[in-house]
C-alpha cells in the first residue's frame, strides 16, 4: 500500500458511513476507503504522465524554437513550463527552477505579480484590443504620458509597436523620413557598432554586427557604416582603459566627419551590448557619442529594448551619463514581462517634421495591427506603478552590491576570463586560458555545458556562446541571489 494511504489512516478516526460498532470493522472500512482513494490517485498520476508524454511528443513534432538547433533539441527531453511564481518557474512534473535569465530579459517583478494580474483581469472585462489607427483609448494615453515623464528629458512623443525589433524598425524609418522632410535626401546609411544586436527584422539585422546571427542574410540587407565597439577585455585597438582616452571613439568621429551628409543616425545599445556577450562600456563612451552626433548634425538612436526599466540600476541606461537620445526604443521589460508591447520615443522636433497638409503626404506610413494594445498598456502602466509603490530602483542598490560580492570568488577561476556587471546584469566570460585570454572554440559549447549543469541544479540560464549571463528579475531577494550565484559557480566548475 502507498505511504499516502497509511498517512490517511493515521489521521482518520471512525468513519461516519460505517454502521458496524466493532472498532476493528470500522478500521477495516476506513482502510478500504483510503485504499480506494489511493488507487484513484495512482490512476490519475498514470493518466497525467501519459498526457505529459503526449505533450513532449507534440512539442518535438510541431514547434520550431528560436535560436535553437532543432536536430539537437529533439534528442533531449523538452522542458515544458507549467506555471511561475516570483523568481521561480515550475515544469509539468512540478520541478522548480530559478529563472535566472528573467525569461530572456523581460520579467521584472517576478511571475504572477498580483498587481499586474489584477490589471489584466480588470482590463479584459472592458476590452482586449481596438486599433490605434486614428482611434485611441485610456491605457495608451496614460502610458504615453507616463513614459514621457520617465524618459530622459527632451523625448516628447510615443509611437507604440509590438516588440523590440519593430520598435527599432520604427526608429530607423522615422530617422530617415525626418531628414527627407528637411530636404536632406542623401542620408541613407546608418552608423552602428560591430557586435551590435538590434533585432531580427531585415532593417534591424542590417544594423547588427554579429556575424554568426547576421552574416547569412547579408544579400538581403541595406548597406550601413560599422565601426569597432568598445570591449575593454578584448580591445580591438590593443589599448588599455583609462589610458586609452576612449580611442575607440576616434573611428566613430572619423566616419562622421567624412560621411555625416550620408548618415541619418548613429545607433547604439547604451552602456552594454547584450547579445554580444553583455559587454559593458567604459565610462564616458556614451557621452562622447552623443557629443559627436550633435557636432555633426546626426541623430542618436538609443536601443533600450534590453537595458530599459531598471536593468542597469537606473530606469534607462542613458541616465548613467545624462544623455538624451533623439529616438529611444523600449520593449522587453515594458510590461513587466507579461505582454508583447514596445514603444519608440522621439523629440518634439522630430515629431513636428511630420506635420503638414494631407496633400504633402508627410504622414508616417507605418503601423502594426496590435499597436497600443489595451492589455499590454494596462500591464505596462501597472508595472511602472510597481516601480513607484515598491521603490524598486532604490531597493536595487543593495542587490547590485550583493551580486558583485557573490561573484568575486570566481575572479580567480582558471577558466573565467572576465566578470562583467552593470546594475543587476552580470556575465562571466569563459576562456581556455585565463592568462592568455585564449577563448574556447564555439564548437566546444562551454556556455551550453554550464547551462545544462545549472538546469540539473534547478536554475535556468541561457548562454551567449562562451559567455554565461545572470539576469534575475528585479524582485529577486538577496538570499535568492546567493543561491543563483552558488549554482552558477558549481556549474562553471563542473563544465570546465
Instruction: State the Rg of the chain over Cα.
Output: 27
List of residues 6+ apart from 16 with CB closer than 8 A: none
Most confident of 9-13, 28-32, 66-70, 299-303: 299-303
Phi-psi region of 339 (alpha: psi -120 to 50; beta: other; left: phi over 0): beta
pLDDT in tens, 389-410: 999 999 999 999 999 999 999 9
List of residues 6+ apart from 10 with CB closer than 8 A: none
How many whole angstroms separate alpha carbon 235 and alpha carbon 242? 12
Tell whether pTM > 0.85: yes
List the beta bridge partners of residue 327: 301, 346
Closest-CA residue to 305 (of 182, 462, 171, 442): 171
pLDDT in tens, 170-181: 999 999 999 999
How many whole angstroms separate alpha carbon 212 and alpha carbon 223? 18
Residue pair 483/406 in contact by the 8 Å Cβ criterion = no
Task: Report the chain's mean pLDDT, rounded to a whole number.
Answer: 93
Q: Is 386 exposed, middle or buried (0-12, 13-18, 19+ CB in 10 A)?
A: buried
Report the length, in residues, of the chain: 496
What was the pLDDT predicted at 11? 43
List of residues 6+ apart from 422 with CB closer than 8 A: 271, 272, 280, 312, 313, 317
Question: Is 49's pLDDT higher than 90?
Answer: no
**Residue 25, Cβ neighbours under 10 Å: how many?**
12
Residue pair 483/403 in contact by the 8 Å Cβ criterion = no
Question: Is 421's pLDDT higher than 50?
Answer: yes
pLDDT in tens, 7-37: 444 444 444 555 555 666 666 566 666 665 6
- In the predicted model, what is the mean pLDDT of residues 291-304? 98
Amino acid at each position: 500500500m502507498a505511504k499516502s494511504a497509511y498517512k490517511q489512516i493515521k489521521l482518520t478516526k471512525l468513519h461516519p458511513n460505517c454502521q458496524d460498532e466493532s472498532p476493528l470493522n470500522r478500521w477495516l472500512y476506513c482502510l478500504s476507503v483510503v485504499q480506494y482513494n489511493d488507487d484513484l490517485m495512482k490512476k490519475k498520476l498514470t493518466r497525467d504522465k501519459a498526457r505529459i508524454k503526449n505533450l513532449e511528443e507534440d512539442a518535438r513534432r510541431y514547434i520550431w524554437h528560436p535560436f535553437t538547433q532543432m536536430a539537437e533539441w529533439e534528442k533531449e527531453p523538452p522542458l515544458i513550463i507549467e506555471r511561475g511564481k516570483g523568481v521561480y518557474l515550475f515544469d509539468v512534473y512540478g520541478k522548480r527552477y530559478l529563472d535566472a535569465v528573467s525569461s530572456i530579459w523581460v520579467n521584472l517583478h517576478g511571475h504572477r505579480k498580483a498587481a499586474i494580474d489584477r490589471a489584466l483581469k480588470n482590463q479584459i472585462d472592458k476590452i482586449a484590443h481596438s486599433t490605434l489607427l486614428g482611434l485611441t483609448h485610456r491605457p495608451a494615453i496614460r502610458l504615453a504620458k507616463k513614459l514621457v515623464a520617465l524618459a530622459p528629458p527632451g523625448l516628447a512623443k510615443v509611437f507604440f509597436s509590438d516588440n523590440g525589433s519593430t520598435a527599432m524598425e520604427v526608429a530607423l524609418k522615422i530617422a530617415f523620413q525626418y531628414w527627407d522632410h528637411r530636404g536632406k535626401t542623401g542620408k541613407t546609411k546608418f552608423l552602428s557598432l560591430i557586435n551590435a544586436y538590434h533585432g531580427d527584422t531585415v532593417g534591424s539585422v542590417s544594423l547588427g554586427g554579429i556575424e554568426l546571427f547576421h552574416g547569412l542574410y547579408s544579400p538581403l540587407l541595406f548597406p550601413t557604416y560599422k565601426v569597432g565597439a568598445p570591449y575593454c577585455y578584448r580591445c580591438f585597438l590593443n589599448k588599455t582603459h583609462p589610458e586609452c582616452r576612449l580611442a575607440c571613439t576616434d573611428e566613430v568621429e572619423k566616419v562622421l566627419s567624412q560621411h555625416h551628409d550620408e548618415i541619418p543616425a548613429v545607433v547604439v545599445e547604451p552602456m552594454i551590448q547584450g547579445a554580444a556577450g553583455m559587454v559593458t562600456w567604459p565610462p564616458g563612451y556614451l557621452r562622447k557619442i552623443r557629443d559627436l552626433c550633435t557636432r555633426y548634425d546626426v541623430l542618436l538612436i538609443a536601443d533600450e529594448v534590453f537595458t530599459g526599466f531598471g536593468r542597469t540600476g537606473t530606469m534607462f541606461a542613458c541616465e548613467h551619463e545624462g544623455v538624451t537620445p533623439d529616438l529611444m526604443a523600449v520593449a522587453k521589460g515594458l510590461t513587466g514581462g507579461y505582454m508583447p508591447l514596445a514603444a519608440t520615443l522621439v523629440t518634439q522636433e522630430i515629431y513636428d517634421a511630420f506635420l503638414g497638409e494631407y496633400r504633402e503626404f508627410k504622414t508616417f506610413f507605418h503601423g502594426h495591427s496590435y499597436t497600443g494594445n489595451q492589455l499590454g498598456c494596462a500591464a505596462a502602466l501597472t508595472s511602472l506603478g510597481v516601480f513607484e509603490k515598491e521603490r524598486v530602483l532604490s531597493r536595487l542598490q543593495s542587490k547590485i552590491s550583493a551580486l558583485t560580492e557573490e561573484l568575486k570568488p570566481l575572479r580567480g577561476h582558471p577558466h573565467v576570463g572576465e566578470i562583467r556587471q552593470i546594475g543587476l546584469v552580470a556575465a562571466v566570460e569563459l576562456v581556455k586560458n585565463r592568462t592568455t585570454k585564449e577563448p574556447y572554440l564555439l564548437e566546444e559549447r562551454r556556455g551550453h555545458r554550464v547551462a545544462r549543469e545549472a538546469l540539473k541544479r534547478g536554475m535556468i540560464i541561457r548562454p551567449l556562446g562562451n559567455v554565461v549571463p545572470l539576469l534575475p528579475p528585479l524582485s529577486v531577494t538577496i538570499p535568492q541571489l546567493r543561491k543563483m550565484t552558488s549554482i552558477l559557480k558549481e556549474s562553471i566548475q563542473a563544465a570546465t
